[in-house]
Structure 1
C-alpha cells in the first residue's frame, strides 16, 4: 500500500495530523483553564469571541465530546499512516512496533505536553481562536456528539451527577476572600482591605462596635435646665439621646441642628427640648453589621440604641461606626483619650475598657473576640475570679501584666507578645 502513496505525501499528511492533534489537545486545556470571571466580564462588555467561548462552555459535555471525537479520529488516522511508513522501512514484523513507539513519543511531546502546557499558561490565546473552529465543527458533528453525550451523561447519572450544564461558577465567601488576596497589585492594597472588611461584616455584630452604655453621653431630664443647655451648647456630638434618670428610660434622640429652634426662644423648657427630639431607634445587640447597614438605609437613620434580650440599653451604634469597619477610621473624637499607649520597650499599656477588636486591628494581635468585648472582661474571664492585686497571665500569644485595679475594674494592663520579653 505504501507504493500507492509517495512517502513524501505520507510524511506530510502525518505532520499535518500531528498539528491537528495538537490543536484539539490545546483547545481542550485552553477551554477548561480559561478564567471564567474575566471571560464573563469580557462577554458582558460586548466581546464577540468571549461570547462564543461562553456558548461552548455552557454545555461542557458537548464541547469535550466534539474535541475528543476530533482528537481520537486524528490520532487513529495518524497511527495508521505511521504504521504504513514504518512497514516500508522496517518490514511487516517490526514496523508496527516501531511505529507505535515513535508515534507515541512524538504525539506525547508535540501534540500533548507542549500544546497543553502552553494552553494552560495562555488559555485565552488558544480558546478564542479555537472557538472559531470548534463552534461550526460542533454543528457539523452534532448528531454524533449528541449520541456520545447521551451515553456519557447516562453513565454520569449512574454516578450521581444529575446535570452537566454549566450552572455558573459561584464563589463562597472564603473563596472570594482568596481571590481578593491573590489579586496582588491588580487591586490596590487599600481596596483589598475594604473588600475584605465588607466580607467580614456578616461575622461582626453591633455589639462588637457599639459605644458601651457607660460611655454614652446624653441629656438627662433630671438635670437642671441650665446644665442641659450648657451640655447642648458644648457638645461635640451631633446627636444626643434624651433620657430621664436612667439610660434605660430613653425618650428620644435630639439632633443638635434642631436645637436652634428652642435656643432662640426667650424661655426654654424641657418640654420644648423633648418636642424637638425624634423617636428613638432600637437595635438588638446580635444584629450583624451587614444587616444593620441595610436597616439604617431603610429606616433613614444614622444612629441607634443597642438593647439586649431584656430591653436594657447596652450601648449606642452609628452609621459612621459601621462605615469605619469598611474604610477604616475617618472621624476623630477629640474627647476620647487614647486607650493604647506604646512603651519604649515595645510593650503597650492598654486601658481595661479598650475594645478587643480595636486592639487586634491596631496591633495586629489575635486576642479572642467571641467572648468579652473589652480587655477587662477578657482578663477576668481568663482568671475566672477578680484579682486581689497586680498579676501576670498569658492569653494566646500575648502576655499581660495587670497594672491597676480600681472599683472592681482592671483599669490598665501592660501587654506584649510572648515570643519577645520586653525590657524593663
Structure 2
C-alpha cells in the first residue's frame, strides 16, 4: 500500500466505517423487529417484511453473514488505520491510530447505529434486508462453513435447533394484553384475560349449588306445581321426583305457559314437554365445557360427581358471564345482594356466596383452590359447625359467624379494614 496516497486510504477508511455502521445497525434492527407485527405486515403483502421474516427463520445464517461482513470490514479498517498512523506519526502512530479508530468505531459504527436501529428497527431492517439477501448469496460458502462450525459447537453444548421460536406462553400473552395500554380498551383487556382464565376455572366454581336450585317436585300437589311455574324466576325449570337426584328434565316456561293458555296444563303434559337432561362431570374446565355446549347444542346442564349425584347447575350464560361480566347488571362492579355494607365499615355476607365472586366484587384474597363458599371455608378451618358469635381471623380477615341454621353457616361478618396479610396457610 506504499503506492496508495494517504488521501485514498483515508477515504477507504471512511467507507469501511460506514459499512461497519451498516452491519452493526442491520444486526440490531433485524433482531429488534417485533415478530408479531412483522408477521402481520408480511401477511399484508409488505415486501420488506417478507424478506425480513424469511431471513429471521434462520437466525444463525443471518448473524453469521452480518458478523462475517462486520469483522472483515473492521479488520481491514484496522489495517488501513495502522498504515495511516505510521505514515503520519511514525512508530507511535500505531498506538495513536488504534486509540482513535477504537473511539471512532465505538461511537460512529457501534453505539450510534445500534441505538438508531433499536429505536426504528423497521426503517433500518426492511431496506437492509434487500442488501443482506444479496450478500447472503455472494458469501454463502463462507456462511455455510461458519454455520457448520457453530452448529457443531452448539450440539456439544446440547443445543439442537437453531430455528427461532416466537410462540408466546400464556403468561407472556397475559403480559402483552396488560401492557397494550390504549391500543386495547380496558374492557376488552378484561375480556381477553377472562378468556385465558377459562381453563383455570371449573364448572364447580360457577355452578348454582344443589341447595340453591329452583326446581319443582313433580309429585307435589298440582296447584302447588302450577304456582311454582308461574312464580319461577328462570326461563328453564328443573323437574324432579321427590329428590333432586331423581331429576326428570328441564321444562321451558314458554312451553308450560303455552299449555296453560290452551287449557292443557297437567302433570302428564308437563312431563311430555321436558327436555332431555344433559350432565356435566364435576371439575370440567370452563373452556372445555364451553366447547361441549357448542358441540352438543346445549345451553344448560347438571353437574354430577363421580357417584352420579347432582351437585349443581351450569348454563351457557354462566360461562359467558365469566368472560363479559354479568348480563343483568351494569358494567360497573357493585356488591351483590349477598353483601351488605354496615355503618362500622364491616360487611354482612351470605355464607353461601361463591368465594370467587366475593373476591372479584370486593377485591379480597380468600383462597379459591379449596371450598367454593365462605360456609365451606369456615367449616374447613374450624373442622366443626360453629356457634353464632364465633370469631376468628381467616386468611388475614377478621370474621364473625352471625347466623347458623340447618347445619350450615348462614351469615358472617367480615371486617376488611382490619385485614392483616396471613403469615401462614391459615
Q: Is 1:217 matched with 2:214?
A: yes
CA contact (8 A) 2:206 2:318 kept: yes
Indicate which of 248, 252, 256 corresponds to 1:255. Answer: 252
The 2-side partners of 1:344 and 1:183 are apart by 40
Question: Whole-Å Cα distance in 1 between the matches of residues 336 and 259 of structure 2?
Answer: 32
Report what 1:94 is aligned to. 92
Alpha-carbon displacement from aligned partner over 1:16-39 (angstroms, at most 9, x marks no partner): 211111110111111112111111
* TM-superposed deviation, 1:420: 5.8
SS for the counterpart of 1:94 is helix
CA deviation map 1:67-96 (0-9, x unaligned): 0111011101110111111101221x2222
Q: CA deviation at 1:97?
A: 2.0
**What is the alpha-carbon root mean square deviation over aligned residues?**
1.9
Match of 2:29 in 1: 30
Residues 230 and 38 of structure 1: CA distance in aligned 2, closer, same or farther (over 3 Å): same
Deviations 1:272-311 (A, max 9, x none): 1111111100101110000000000011011000111111
1:129–1:347 distance in 2 versus 1, CA, 3 Å: farther
Q: Report deviation, 1:15.
A: 1.7
Q: CA deviation at 1:266?
A: 3.4
2:114 aligned residue = 116
CA deviations on 1:32-70 (whole Å, 9 max, x unpaired) are 121111111111122111111001101111111110111
From 235, 239, 243, the equivalent of 2:236 is 239
- In the alignment, does 2:65 pair up with 1:76? no
Contact 2:392 2:398 in 1 (8 A): yes
Cα 1:267/1:186, change in 2 over 3 Å: closer
Give the TM-score normalised by structure 2.
0.93
Asked if 2 retains the 8 angstrom alpha-carbon contact of 1:220 and 1:245, the reply is yes
Cα distance between partner residues in 1 of 2:274 and 2:163: 58
Find the aligned partners of 1:208 and 1:294 in 2 and give their Cα distance: 17
Asked if the contact 1:202/1:290 (under 8 Å) is kept, the reply is yes
Does 2:178 match 1:181? yes
Stretch moving more, 258-267 or 206-215 = 258-267
Structure 1 residue 267 displacement after superposition: 4.2
Over 3 Å counting, the alpha-carbon distance change for 1:420 and 1:312 in structure 2 is closer
Task: Please state if 1:290 is matched with 2:287.
Answer: yes
Answer yes or no: is 1:272 the counterpart of 2:269.
yes
- Match of 1:388, SS? coil
Provide the rounded CA distance (Å) in 2 between the counterparts of 1:11 and 1:181.
52
- 3-state DSSP of counterpart to 1:23: helix
Counterpart secondary structure, 2:159: coil
Taking a change above 3 Å as real, the CA distance of residues 246 and 192 of structure 1, as seen in their structure-2 partners, is same
1:66·1:141 contact (CA, 8 Å) conserved in 2? Answer: yes
Contact 2:396/2:419 (CA < 8 Å) preserved in 1? Answer: no
- Classify 1:43/1:351 alpha carbon distance in 2 versus 1 (closer, same or farther; 3 Å): same
The answer to whether the Cα contact below 8 Å between 1:213 and 1:313 also exists between their aligned partners in 2 is yes
Residues 372-381 or 284-293, more deviating: 372-381
1:46 equivalent to 2:45? Answer: yes
Q: Measure the CA separation in 1 of the matches of 2:130 and 2:8.
A: 28
Judging changes above 3 Å, is the alpha-carbon distance between structure 1 residues 199 and 267 closer, same or farther for their aligned structure 2 residues? closer
> For residue 135 of structure 1, what is the aligned residue in structure 2?
133
Name 1:303's counterpart in structure 2: 300
Cα distance in 2 between the residues matched to 1:133 and 1:247: 74
Deviations 1:359-387 (A, max 9, x none): 10001111101111111111121222222
**Could you list the runs of 5+ residues in structure 2 that have no partner in the other structure?**
330-334, 421-426
Corresponding residue for residue 328 of structure 2: 331
Aligned length: 416
SS in 2 for 1:278: coil
Whether the 8 Å CA contact 2:346–2:417 is kept in 1: the answer is: no
Report the CA distance between 1:418 and its aligned residue. Answer: 5.5
Alpha-carbon distance in 2 for matches of 1:115, 1:258? 74
2:145 is the counterpart of 1:147: yes
The answer on whether the counterparts of 1:207 and 1:286 sit within 8 Å (CA) in structure 2 is: yes
Match of 1:159 among 157, 161, 169: 157
Q: Is the 8 A contact 2:24 2:113 kept in 1?
A: yes
- Tell me which residue corresponds to 2:332: none
Judge conservation of contact 1:397–1:418 (CA < 8 Å) in 2: no
Match of 1:316 in 2: 313
Give me the whole-angstrom Cα distance separating, in 2, the residues matched to 1:250 and 1:404.
31
Q: Distance in 1 between matches of 2:336 and 2:68?
A: 74
Normalising by structure 1, we get a TM-score of 0.94
